[in-house]
Amino acid sequence: MTKAMHVYLVEGSAPEPWGESALLSFDGSSAIIHISAVKGAALVAAQKAARKLEGMGINEVVLKGETWDLESRWAFWAGFFNPRKPNKIDWGTEDSAELKELAARENASRWVREITNGTPDDVSPRVLAESAAEMLQKLAPNSVTYRIVAGDDLLREGFVGIHNVGRGSVREPVMLQLDFNPTGDDQAPVDMCLVGKGITFDSGGYSIKPSSNMATMKSDMGGAAMVTGGLALAISRGLTKRVKVYLCCAENLISGHAFKLGDIIEYKNGVSVEILNTDAEGRLVLADGLIAASEEEPRWLLDAATLTGAAKMAVGRDFNSIFSFENEAAQKVLSAAAEENEKAWRLPLERFHLEQTPSNFADIANVGIEGSPGASTAASFLARFVRDEGRNWVHMDLSGSYQPSGNDQWAPGAKGHGLRTIARFLMDN
């Protein structure tokens, strides 16, 4: 189109002939979003209307009128995003603080959505790690340092989970170790650690997935993308705390070199794990990151992962799932999500879940016993690799981070839903 459409947000219902329940009406080159047409008011209305306008082929808009605020503008952007082409929004405000925040959100969210939507051929484990490091270093060149541990060097440094999961691919597995240290003091304590699952493609290994389940598995690195995006947004908001990031990146493929059912992995913290399902690989790579993060003794430790289908079965794709043994820790993340207008829901994690992954040949197995709750036992598996089996630790199972097909609020693909929660958690705790 040659001219941007003006988009207004109004309280009243649409006039005839559009009908009282219409979300959108049009007047010449202007579109009017009617808040009263949608339960949940302005934010949901703005996002749904953006999806409708984008679906009509409108790819350039100006937000007009006094009803728009920071959150409704952002909701519109979330719905207007198209994974195949760059749509343009004039935010319609001259407020410098709003524009700065919107730019920060867009930079972080666009990176998360685009790299998660990237093809598994383009986004290898090393590409993911390097892209994350470069994006963060660009935001804070004097505060970000990093190293990438790759291939057999992972074994030499004791990161056996990432190495075993990734050894079936010709593209080497890697761990990104990144330090955001705005103090400049190498001896400064680490306030927080973030750990992300970065499986850039998950075939399921020898426990192979059916094609219908494998088709979206380029998104299995969503946890690594999400913690990176969360830190990026927090840096843009002025984060002054020292944060270390561990991205655990690999491809889970089948070959003569791939790990197998019955293998036993012995981790550097002394825990041995029997492999009973090679499609439960995310927890195996996260274990390395959690061990490394725990060695830093941070005040808080958070990991994020597209870890289980069980979490999606429990809460659907609108909520991310939160796990912690500690009420205070879980509540901090839930409160962060609420403050940022993101949806999160706590699922059960109790000490007895630690006993639901027994093994005949190792300390634990990488899957739970029949009838055990899959999301909770996955979280309890991770807890064994956190200092004191879970002290000041929260696990986010990113059940709401990816949309296999578009709906009335989201385009197909990555949503970036969760990065604002992580950014707020970093800023406020």
Domain residue ranges in the chain: 5-93, 109-428
What single letter denotes the amino acid at residue 155? L
DSSP string, 102-154: HHHHHHHHHHHHHHHHS-TTT--HHHHHHHHHHHHHHH-TTTEEEEEEETHHH
CA nearest 225: which of 254, 243, 245, 255? 245
**Residue 37's pLDDT is what?**
67
As a residue count, the chain comes to 429
**The domain over range 109-428 is classified in CATH as 3.40.50.970:** no
**Residue 42's pLDDT is what?**
85
CA nearest 289: which of 131, 418, 115, 162? 162
**Residue 38's pLDDT is what?**
74
**Residue 1's pLDDT is what?**
43
**What span, in angstroms and rounded, lies between the C-alpha atoms of 10 and 23?**
10
Angstrom distances, CA of residue 115 to CA of 45, 118, 122, 249, 413:
28, 5, 9, 14, 11
pTM here is 0.97
Give pLDDT tens digits for 18-77: 988 899 999 988 999 998 867 668 899 999 999 999 999 999 999 999 999 999 999 999
Q: How many CB atoms lie within 10 A of CB 296?
A: 17
Active site residues: 209, 283
**Residue 381's pLDDT is what?**
98
Q: Which residues of the chain have pLDDT under 70?
A: 1-2, 37, 39-40
Token pair recorded at residue 59? 């790819």
